[in-house]
């Protein structure tokens, strides 16, 4: 007998189903985690009862995926538990599996991906059913597929990414054949939908465990090069003023950021993405077209990656906006006007997140003793952060909307609205960023009049 101490509701659901005559087990991730002594996430149940029976046996249910046999049962604790009828795969495409209902728990366990995930535990009898020795693998710290790894990866290539996540976050050694088959399967990752690939990465970035080990396995297996070239190009990329490559710095930094802020973790991963490729022009020559700055290049690459993954627009803007500025802070001793100008470009609202990433980068440098040019310096960063926070809080105009003078004032002065309004307001903002004392309506009205007059002269 072995007690995995599930929530009471798991035992209640199991009892109801068994009393109705249907064998029911706790399966999958929660059993695995409980066996490993980790806090268990969602407790899933597998049952011989068909979905329609499950819906009739419980008062409060949600049809989550009736076709797939999954019914959500809302228990007395208000939590929803997924109850899924035993299934087996009847057809696989590499992208997903077509499933059919099965008769036995053993059928159901046979279609699961890794031995550590193919474990079942009976919540009433408190016995483990573990036909592939998953508990022993967990104990020994080994990740292996159920059955032949080539076949199992080819059935659903998402298992490649799941293996990298499990091995990385649970610190498991990949069994030799599983690893060889995985590396061989990486080239087929292109068949997976962007959404599934993204969700896998999000699990790494929002999980309890530090993401770096799983990400390092992405790089080692070739999966990073295949689906995340913007990240892979940082592997082995030496950086000025730091030892080691951009990638190892990014991995240390990611671990130092909070799991509930995946956007910041994305920004840390992509911070070095703006480095120019070899041979890529970095400055505009005589006849060459304008070249994007490293900040701009980073922004474009971050946006390209996240768009490919079909991330939300909000996420893309947040991450790309951080990537644009994270590697171009103003100097700690720069004049106030430069800080205002920088903050005006960045946007006040973005400052707290940028500071979070900078501090993580500083701590990453400190972990490996990096100092000097290119690396962060604690005193300088603290000084800069103090000054930027003070600037952001100060009642100074950083946007044209915050000027003491507006387009409405221009109309009142008799000017007709047009594109030059915007141009003028930006020019006024520029003056005010230099000298905040200019920001009163009369002064700016006089400045505006002079600007308009000079403009008319130019045109005339």
Q: Is 249 in the site for ligand ATP (CB under 6 A)?
A: no
If we measure between CA atoms, which residue out of 269, 324, 316 comes closest to residue 298?
A: 324
Of 42 and 430, CB closest to Mg ion: 42
Q: Does 108 bind ligand ATP (CB under 6 A)?
A: no
Instruction: State yes or no: residue 207 binds Mg ion (CB under 5 A).
Output: no
Token pair in block for residue 210: 């530090």
8 A C-beta contact, residue 142 and residue 173: yes
Does 156 engage in binding with ligand ATP (CB under 6 A)?
A: yes
Task: Give the residue, chosen from 7, 12, 29, 101, that forms a contact with ligand ATP under the rule CB under 6 A.
Answer: 29
Q: How far apart are CA 353 and CA 43, in angstroms?
A: 35
Among 159, 340, 341, 356, binds ligand ATP (CB under 6 A): 159
Could you tell me how many residues make up the chain? 460
Site for Mg ion in 387-426 (CB under 5 A): none
Cβ atoms of 403 and 432 within 8 Å: the answer is: yes
Q: Closest separation between CB of residue 205 and ligand ATP, Å? A: 13
Number of H helices, E strands in the chain: 22, 11
> Is 347 a binder of ligand ATP (CB under 6 A)?
no
Cβ contact 342:231 at 8 Å: no
CB of 15 to ligand ATP, least distance (A): 22
- Is 283 within 8 Å of 208 (Cβ atoms)? no
- Give the span between the Cα atoms of 187 and 42, in whole angstroms: 32
Of 2, 15, 41, 220, the one binding ligand ATP (CB under 6 A) is 41
Closer residue to ligand ATP (CB): 158 or 397: 158
Q: Which of ligand ATP, Mg ion, none does residue 253 bind (CB under 5 to 8 Å by kind)?
A: none
Q: Which residue has the tokens 């538990």?
A: 81
With b meaning 16 or more CB within 10 Å and e meaning fewer, what string describes 341-362? bbbbebeeebbebbbbbbbbbb
Q: How far is the CB of 10 from ligand ATP (least distance, A)?
A: 14
Closer by beta carbon to ligand ATP, 68 or else 363: 68
Rounded Cα distance between 30 and 36, Å, is 10
Q: Which residues contact 182 (CB under 8 A, 6 or more apart)?
A: 149, 153, 160, 163, 164, 174, 221
User: Measured between alpha carbons, how far is 58 from 72 in angstroms, rounded to an integer?
Assistant: 10
Distance CA 217, CA 224 (A): 9
Which residue number has the CB closest to ligand ATP?
29
117 touches ligand ATP by CB under 6 A = yes
Output 53 or 95, the one with its CB closest to ligand ATP. Answer: 95
Contacts of 3 (CB under 8 A, 6+ apart): 126
Of 110-118, 210-218, 334-342, 445-453, the segment contacting ligand ATP by CB under 6 A is 110-118
Choose from Mg ion, ligand ATP, none: what does 321 bind? Cβ within 5-8 Å by kind. Answer: none
365 binds, among ligand ATP, Mg ion, none (CB under 5 to 8 A by kind): none
Q: Which of residues 186-205 bind ligand ATP (CB under 6 A)?
A: 203
Helix axes 262-270, 313-326, angle to 10 degrees: 50
> Is residue 113 a contact point for ligand ATP (CB under 6 A)?
yes
156 binds, among Mg ion, ligand ATP, none (CB under 5 to 8 A by kind): ligand ATP
Rounded Cα gap, residues 195 and 311, in angstroms: 8
Q: Which does 232 bind (CB under 5 to 8 A by kind): ligand ATP, Mg ion, none?
A: none
> Is residue 88 involved in binding ligand ATP (CB under 6 A)?
no
- Which of residues 7, 11, 12, 29 is near Mg ion by CB under 5 A? 29
Distance CA 224, CA 233 (A): 9
24 contact choice in Mg ion, ligand ATP, none (CB below 5 to 8 Å, kind-dependent): none
By rule CB under 6 A, what count of residues binds ligand ATP? Answer: 11
Q: Which residue ranges make up the site for ligand ATP (CB under 6 A)?
A: 28-29, 41, 44, 112-113, 117, 156, 158-159, 203
């Amino acid at each position: 007998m072995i007690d995995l101490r599930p929530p009471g509701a798991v035992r209640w659901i199991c009892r109801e189903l068994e009393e109705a005559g249907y064998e029911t087990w706790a399966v999958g991730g929660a059993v695995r985690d409980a066996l490993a002594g980790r806090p268990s996430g969602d407790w899933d149940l597998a049952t011989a009862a068909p979905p329609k029976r499950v819906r009739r046996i419980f008062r409060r249910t949600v049809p989550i995926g009736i076709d797939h046999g999954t019914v959500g049962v809302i228990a007395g604790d208000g939590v929803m538990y997924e109850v899924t009828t035993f299934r087996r795969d009847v057809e696989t495409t590499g992208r997903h599996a077509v499933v059919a209902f099965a008769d036995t728990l053993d059928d159901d366990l046979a279609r699961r991906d890794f031995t550590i995930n193919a474990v079942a535990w009976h919540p009433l009898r408190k016995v483990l059913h573990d036909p592939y020795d998953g508990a022993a693998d967990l104990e020994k710290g080994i990740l292996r597929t159920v059955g032949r790894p080539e076949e199992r990866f080819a059935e659903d290539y998402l298992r490649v990414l799941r293996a990298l996540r499990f091995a990385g976050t649970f610190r498991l050694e990949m069994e030799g054949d599983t690893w060889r088959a995985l590396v061989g399967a990486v080239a087929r990752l292109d068949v997976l939908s962007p959404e599934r690939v993204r969700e896998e990465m999000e699990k790494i970035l929002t999980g309890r465990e530090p993401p770096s080990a799983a990400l390092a396995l992405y790089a080692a297996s070739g999966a990073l090069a295949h689906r995340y070239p913007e990240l892979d190009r940082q592997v082995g990329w030496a950086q000025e003023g730091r030892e080691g490559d951009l990638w190892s710095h990014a991995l240390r930094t990611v671990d130092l950021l909070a799991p509930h802020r995946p956007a910041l973790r994305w920004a840390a991963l992509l911070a070095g993405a703006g480095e120019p490729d070899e041979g890529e022009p970095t400055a505009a020559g005589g006849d060459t077209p304008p070249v994007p700055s490293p900040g701009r290049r980073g922004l474009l690459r971050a946006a390209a990656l996240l768009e490919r993954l079909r991330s939300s627009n909000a996420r893309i803007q947040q991450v790309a906006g951080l990537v644009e500025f994270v590697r171009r802070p103003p100097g700690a001793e720069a004049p106030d006007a430069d800080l205002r100008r920088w903050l005006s470009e960045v946007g006040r609202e973005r400052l707290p997140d940028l500071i979070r990433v900078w501090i993580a980068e500083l701590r990453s440098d400190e972990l490996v003793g990096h100092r000097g040019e290119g690396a962060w310096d604690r005193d300088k960063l603290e000084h800069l952060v103090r000054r930027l926070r003070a600037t952001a809080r100060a009642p100074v105009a950083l946007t044209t909307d915050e000027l003491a003078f507006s387009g409405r004032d221009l109309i009142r002065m008799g000017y007709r609205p047009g594109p030059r309004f915007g141009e003028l307001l930006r020019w006024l903002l520029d003056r005010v960023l230099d000298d905040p004392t200019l920001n009163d309506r009369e002064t700016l009205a006089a400045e505006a009049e002079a600007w308009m007059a000079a403009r008319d002269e130019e045109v005339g």
